[in-house]
Amino acid sequence: MTTSPFVVLKDVAKRWAGQLGVEGISLDIPEGSFTALLGPSGCGKSTTLRLLAGLELPDEGAIIIDGKDVTTSAASDRNLSMVFQSYALFPHLSVAENVVFGLKVRRVPKKERQQKLHRALEITGLLGYEDRKPGELSGGQRQRVALARAIVAGQRLCLMDEPLSNLDAKLRNSVRKDIKKLQRDLGITVVYVTHDQTEAMSMADTVVLMKDGRIQQVGSPEELYSKPSNTFVAEFVGAPP
């Protein structure tokens, strides 16, 4: 883990026909860190993540990943993986086929695919489920398949957009721990979108609290709680006034 920023956003803005997505987004994200983008619905969390992923291109600003300016690069050139709230699994493919799908597309040799599959299923606790279809799994297991698919790609940067919001409270807790353990064990950099302050505060090293398309405060969970920069932050994290 280094302290020089692995991901940099410099004054990034995105608008659609006058509709503000985000504005003035500047962030330095160190390698191996867990950063949560937190804030109420519509504040620009997903837009920020989609800009990082290359699923949207910014109107202003620059995005640098691992020293490379990717501001206008296609999503496929950004060397990152993504996990969404809606698993995005292929229903007709088995767990194993879903997990290695991207490796097959990239023509990774079969033996290497098998090894990577085994390791990803081991890490996510899915060994023995290789032949099941997504429809034969619980919500938590499906989300773990989506995690395995992200891990198997072997990227150092993983973007997650509300990956737990389709799970019930109990599952949320256990998958939350799985994600945290994965991130630590693999030393990957995670940027994690959530509207749930408990989730952000319990998982992240750094919390980026957003409102109306702008960053309100960046800091450790403790900093946001003990030194909120304005009343919105204080109220959102539930800090004493």
Does residue 18 bind ligand ADP (CB under 6 A)?
Answer: no
Beta strand pairing call for 206-211 and 214-219? antiparallel
Binding-site size for ligand ADP (CB under 6 A) equals 11
Closest to Mg ion by CB, 48 or 183: 48
Does residue 21 bind ligand ADP (CB under 6 A)?
Answer: yes
Closest to Mg ion by CB, 86 or 198: 86
Burial of residue 241 (number of CB atoms within 10 Å: 0-12, 13-18, 19+): exposed
Does residue 46 bind Mg ion (CB under 5 A)?
Answer: yes
Does residue 16 bind ligand ADP (CB under 6 A)?
Answer: yes
Residues in the chain: 241
- 102 contact, one of ligand ADP, Mg ion, none, CB 5-8 Å limit per kind: none
Does residue 47 bind ligand ADP (CB under 6 A)?
Answer: yes
Helix/strand/coil for 25: strand
Closest to ligand ADP by CB, 21 or 32: 21
Helix/strand/coil for 81: strand
Residue at shortest CB range from Mg ion: 46
Provide the token pair at 189: 């950099």
Q: Which stretch binds ligand ADP (CB under 6 A): 42-50, 76-84, 95-103, 129-137?
A: 42-50
Residue showing tokens 């085994």: 118
Closest to ligand ADP by CB, 21 or 221: 21
Does residue 44 bind ligand ADP (CB under 6 A)?
Answer: yes
Does residue 54 bind ligand ADP (CB under 6 A)?
Answer: no
Q: Give the integer Cα–Cα distance in Å for 195 and 154.
A: 27
Residue 171, CB half-sphere, CA atoms under 13 Å: how many?
A: 13
* Among the listed residues 156, 153, 136, the one whose alpha carbon sits nearest the alpha carbon of residue 100: 153
Q: Point out which residues bind ligand ADP (CB under 6 A).
A: 16, 19, 21, 39, 41-47
